[in-house]
Chain A
Amino acid sequence: MNNALLKVEEIDAFYGDFQAVQQASFAVGDKEIVSVIGTNGAGKTTLMKVIGGTLAARGGKVRFEDTDITGWPPHKIVDLGISQVPEGGKVFGRMSVKDNLIMGSYTAKARRGARAALERVYELFPMLKEKADQDAGSLSGGQRQMVAIGRALMSNPRLVFFDEISLGLAPTVIKDIYARIKQLNREGITIILVEQDVKRSLRTCETAYVMLKGKVVLSGKSTDLTEESVSRAYFGM
């Protein structure tokens, strides 16, 4: 893929001496939905941390369009148009829903479009407007994920990654959230789904990468991959 929006090349990442990601490469095309599938501890979240700039890679490169962004600080990466919905949402529990959203437009560039972005997020999730003054910590798990998604959209991103978005949520809520993700994608936002849920990921994405023990062990168009082949790679059989 030559005109990839995001390209990750042979990333090595460590926690202390433990190598969490090994020579991982993948690419995401503009306006595509890509999923990164793998069990707990496969290195998915670590890889996302490297892309987001909160963890330094020991080797490899991350490119966004034609810019080498390896080792850039998080705020510069947000300004480029990459934002994320971290695992568990990680909302600011002691701050109001509105303040949570406003934090999503913290960077200098995002602040200029903050007012319009807030309106758009409220339009997308009317629930957030209703609960604007409530502490985010008092919301249900699904609502907190909505806050986290709204917050990620406040910087008008071109690429959003969702880390284990369905973890611990009720099936109906998960369904709703996935519908929103597809809607965002139709509006032109490129999506990376980091998931353990093989079935749902394959149904939603165009391209899938399967990670196992820090390595990308299988990749392909979701239409070419069978659930069985993915499962086998997923468990390392």
Chain B
Amino acid sequence: MAEAGAPILSARHVTKTFGAGEAGSVVAIRDLSMDVIEGEFVCLLGASGCGKTTMLALFAGFLLPTAGQVLLRGAPITGIEPRCGMVFQSYALFPWKTVRGNVEFGLKMQGVGRAARREAGQRFIDLVKLTGFEDRYPVELSGGMQQRVTLARILAANPEVLLMDEPFAALDAMTRQVMQEEVLRIHAASRKTTVFITHSIDEALILSDRIVVMSARPGRIKAVLPNKLPTPRHVSVQLSPDYTALKAQVWRLVESELQAHDETSRAVAPKP
């Protein structure tokens, strides 16, 4: 992880165990250390159950580590941290607020006045191309549009780090591609530090500056791969030999992980 620039977000020997007692407890993450550099786009890649969502919840302060530390700019995170804004997979929009009310929520919480809020909110609504839908309620929007509202809501709140928990997993393939390009465009413009969780190798390759491959049960870091594919990345990047080579490399890591996971599951499974 010898990248230039200061780490903004770090995990230091983090272990997270769920449930108490010897029998019932599950170790979701064991002794995980990683740094996120200011301005970079990191993808946490791993199969389901590898603890990547747990890691993101630790970065957001939704969970606290059982052992080790999670640091934001060198200071430990001790509770829900508004400086690490979360984009939820299931949107988490307030159903009783309009698009405008949702997008302005963070600003309202920061005490921004009505007029300034309105102006800033509109800028982000325009940015995610929802102009004209300001007064609609979330229930009236498609999945892709709802995820855009979540994105605008978090960008308007202007956190220091963006955390994204498989935000496009519930979208159809075409909408997902459009949203990925949107996120790249926004990241290129804002250079906002982003930690993005995915189980899609292609998504990780298209979006990231760096890919962190996680191993499952307990969650640990398997490998860290810099992604040097040229930017700005268009869909056509997927046709380049570099892309294919990197994808093969990632796939080998993930595949060996899946096999290992399979064997451990079989080993633990009760005998018939």
Q: Do A and B bind each other?
A: no
| Residues of A that sit less than 8 Å from B by CB | none
Residues of B within 8 A of A (CB): none
